[in-house]
Chains A and B, each alone.
Chain A
């Protein structure tokens, strides 16, 4: 691979940056992704970082990674990397498994010092040989030496100089993939706008990296990556958590209800709080409360007071919020709860991804407590589904749980900034003056949707009390009557079921004439979609459906599924959605592909899983 001099053209390529968690790999990866998106590539990123903020330097446990796929037809960050950047021996060791057999490695030869090798638990002083890597695939760069000479005149101390090492690696990768240095400098300028000296140093280092590649490895091929034809518009690179926050703001604009967030910091959901805290500039009130319970409770208060109220969390926080969710179900107040799922149970794998909160979202409350559950399929779909969660909450007067996960929350894609007209108006089910004249009661309902009417404090003649106690169907006054309670339980359930009338039917992709359908839900969309493409291209016809509306299911879902002989549900848990579907499809065999490793699927795992099921 290293011998010929030419420019190769590729559909897509996967690059993985790895180093110490303090090495700035996330930043290097992000800039590379942004620059590539600006060049017209589709992108999909996957930050893979340890739970510790700064694990012991040079240790195997402290390695942080950032993987990005760029090109055309990109739906996932890729199963394995074409290029691995390893900033130290520990990163090389832990990340080699993420590299394709034909992939190339760029690593810092200055980091192969005895102490570093020992920390990374090597037995010899030649990590390349010890790991059995073909030296032809390795580009050894004396990064620290280069860095020192580049910044010799900068007046910076050794520690400050060392911090620029990620930019050297970035410069080399940009050369390799023919990314213009100017675009990188543009991003750096924005990042270090207030620190011109730091910008100067980093800019110099990026250029040095690019030049190093160009001058020293001129015999190596560089690559041209295919661009994709995207819908015209203005694009930005957005991760799932930011998209979630923006979707809520859009819903606030479209409903006329001001946005309130009550939250508590928790990995990997905290960036939603961060973004909405910044968005005081758009009138958002984002409050960091004293605990998870106060997060949702303050949101319930804000909801009663007439706001679009939201609380954001991850699995452990959802557990703490369960009782308050029940109150929102009982009081029939609009509320959006975002659960960015992570590995569990308990503290589990806080920075890793899983889909293991589905049952908790559906059933994790006391009593008969139905609510709406939706899930986002990709980083950019977080915007759409956050909007949808808010729309459903407001129009149907119910709490809605939006499930995302660490993978799509931290991962990013290019996203077309929507025009105002791209999203519909949201219509709150307000109580009307005519109703108040006739004698309105707080739990009077719209006959068709069973949705109660919203009377917001400050409105005269609509003073009313809501609460967690059961109330009489007709009078809205608290009641312990058994028959009435059953009627109310069934009414609340039916109200949620009727949300199906206002959500889209599920689309089937792939080969719809196949007798096999691959089914997923939420954040596994990219991997399942790509697996479907590969299966169909390789002679195994499959249809494919990804669920984003979980409760209620889209109206056509069960009938559609019954039409297939083989239903294969792939998910990052031990079979929760499969069990849920099984409940709705008694007698139908549901096949499963499951993974609970804290990592997203690999496309190859799904392809193989489907083939194995069909063989059996």
Chain B
């Protein structure tokens, strides 16, 4: 984010958009996410020439073709590793990675966790529709146990990953969540992810209108959302419900949703969100709320800044270069190797 110019809105969404027509299915959640990304980038103000968008393979990974930035549409699962190379080589560039749940968490699971562990400063947008769309409808590593799909006609017999849990397990320092149709929240978390220094994961719960239609609607539909989701904001009380009448309170080792003023719970009992706490114990519990017993958390759940991999590599290079002060390869060889002269 070296080139961020937040207070200088010299760019508009149109500057990040190219002339290609997006070829996702009509009604696909990806259209909304793409439009929000254009707007988020304009808000961030990093020049298109200093922005690189890297994707793997899958429906969502077509996204770079619809950007007027630098971009790479690469191979299945490897976007995180490629984005790591871009950013390590060039910390001055702002790097976005676009992956789906299959690309990022199945074939690309190893690169996903290591990008987080390494804390490379890339912004990972994880489009989670809990299905493989481009290969026409197989279950994914985020599909619920029992999901019936073309490759699981009798229901899956395996448990899914929860991306947030994987992120925390991999020592990720930024995790946020939104819905494809929650445009403002998506923009808010994209901007926060980009401003965060280090690997950031934005999970966008996205609808596949063809193969998994309505998978998130029990909590994303307008009439459901207030009771089944909670928008977390750092430093604010964890309130939700149509009139913000409900809150999240500590209940032993766990969390509980209560109605403020009922059963002896007062506003003082309602937890205040701390996205900057290094200890992720509570953030993890919040991230694991699934919209059933407890509301699904959206917004920025964890946001902790530490030195990034690309910064650390560059710092080390600068330090060692300065300390050894070799003029070039030949100078290094002559000063470090046993040599002899032939006349």
Contacts and interface: CB of A to CB of B under 8 A. Distances in A.
A281 interface: yes
B334 A417 contact: yes
Contact of A294 (B65, B93, B110): B110
B304 to A, nearest CB: 22
Interface in A278-329: 279-285, 287, 289-291, 293-294, 297-307, 309, 323-324, 326-327
A294 B114 contact: yes
Interface stretch (B6-14, B133-141, B215-223, B316-324): B316-324
Contact of B342 (A231, A283, A459, A462): A231
A167 B64 CA distance: 61
Interface stretch (A46-54, A266-274, A463-471, A553-561): A463-471
Contacts of A246: 329, 333
B89 A459 contact: no
A331 B64 CA distance: 14
A234 B114 CA distance: 44
Contacts of B93: 305, 457-458
B122 to A, nearest CB: 10
A236 B337 contact: yes
Which of A282, A420, A459: most chain B CB closer than 10 A?
A: A282
Chain A interface, >50% SS class:
mixed
Given A289-B81, A457-B49, A465-B65, A301 B89 contact: yes
Contact of A305 (B52, B71, B323): B52
Interface string B115-155: 00000000000000000000000000000000000000000
B65 to A, nearest CB: 6
A428 interface: no
Interface stretch (B72-80, B251-259, B269-277): B72-80
B111 A38 contact: no
A301 B333 contact: no
A560 B84 CA distance: 47
Nearest to A469: B73
Contacts of B84: 287, 289, 294, 297-298, 301
- In this complex, the interface size class of chain A, counting residues with CB under 8 Å from chain B, is 35 or more
A189 to B, nearest CB: 11
Contact of B74 (A237, A297, A306): A297
Which of A305, A461, A468: most chain B CB closer than 10 A? A305
A280 B72 contact: no
Contact of A253 (B49, B50, B329, B338): B329
A457 B326 CA distance: 29
B329 A250 contact: yes
Contact of B340 (A37, A287, A290, A468): A37
Nearest to A234: B339
Contacts of A299: 85
Interface in A429-476: 457-469
A468 B52 contact: no
Interface centre among B47, B89, B316 (most CB of A within 10 A): B89
Given A331-B72, A478-B65, A417 B339 contact: yes
B339 A467 contact: no
A299 B89 CA distance: 9
Q: How large is the interface on B (under 10, 10 to 19, 20 to 34, 35 or more residues)?
A: 35 or more
A549 interface: no
A473 B67 CA distance: 21
Given A301-B89, A465-B65, A468-B75, A457 B52 contact: yes
B161 interface: no
B336 to A, nearest CB: 9
A285 B317 contact: yes
Given A290-B111, A294-B110, A301 B69 contact: no
A305 B330 contact: no
Nearest to B122: A301
B28 to A, nearest CB: 18
A294 B321 contact: no
Contacts of B88: 260, 285, 287, 298, 301-302
Contacts of B47: 460
Given A253-B328, A302-B89, A467 B342 contact: no
Given A294-B110, A304-B86, 13 more contacts: A37-B340, A190-B338, A234-B334, A253-B328, A280-B320, A281-B320, A282-B326, A284-B317, A293-B81, A294-B78, A304-B72, A324-B75, A326-B75
The 3 closest A-B CB pairs, nearest first, are A301-B85, A467-B73, A298-B85
25 contacts: A186-B338, A246-B329, A249-B329, A258-B89, A281-B332, A285-B89, A290-B111, A291-B110, A293-B81, A293-B111, A294-B78, A297-B82, A298-B85, A300-B74, A304-B52, A304-B72, A304-B82, A306-B89, A416-B342, A420-B328, A458-B49, A458-B92, A462-B49, A465-B73, A469-B73
